[in-house]
Structure 1
Amino acid sequence: MNYTRKPVVINVKITDLQRNWLAETSRKIRDNNIDPVPPSERVYPQHLLGVAIDLLMNAEIDWQQVRNIEELRKELQL
């Protein structure tokens, strides 16, 4: 993956539960640091979403066979 590309803004709808989990989890990750972390290295929800996309991009899934979200969840064993 090339992580030096400039981020772009997208509009994504997620559930309240997912939004809260992203915020809480990124806060926990930031709190794991004892020493101050430069702003460019801090973890925020957008970073977790980016990692999730990387996981999907690298998943062993035959995307030509996936027809809906339930099939995708099954392929990912969720």
Structure 2
Amino acid sequence: MRRVLRTFKKYNEYITHTLAYPTLTNGPIEGINNSIKTLKGVAFGYRNFVHFRDRILLMSRLYQPETKRASNSQKAS
């Protein structure tokens, strides 16, 4: 019983944060990690690490290229 109480005292701050913020999870990060591991298994090694990194960023939507949009003043001209 003492061991259980020591554990609760040790992790009290983390337990209170978990109860205070129940909607925050590490699920999205775990999903990205799983996607990267799957890509590593399927890719069998890229020749260039930069290409592999870029593929990970594009696949996980962590990088979105900027698109050029015409502003309203340019459309009127």
- For normalisation by structure 1, the TM-score amounts to 0.37
- Which structure has greater helix proportion? 2
Say which one has the larger Rg: 2
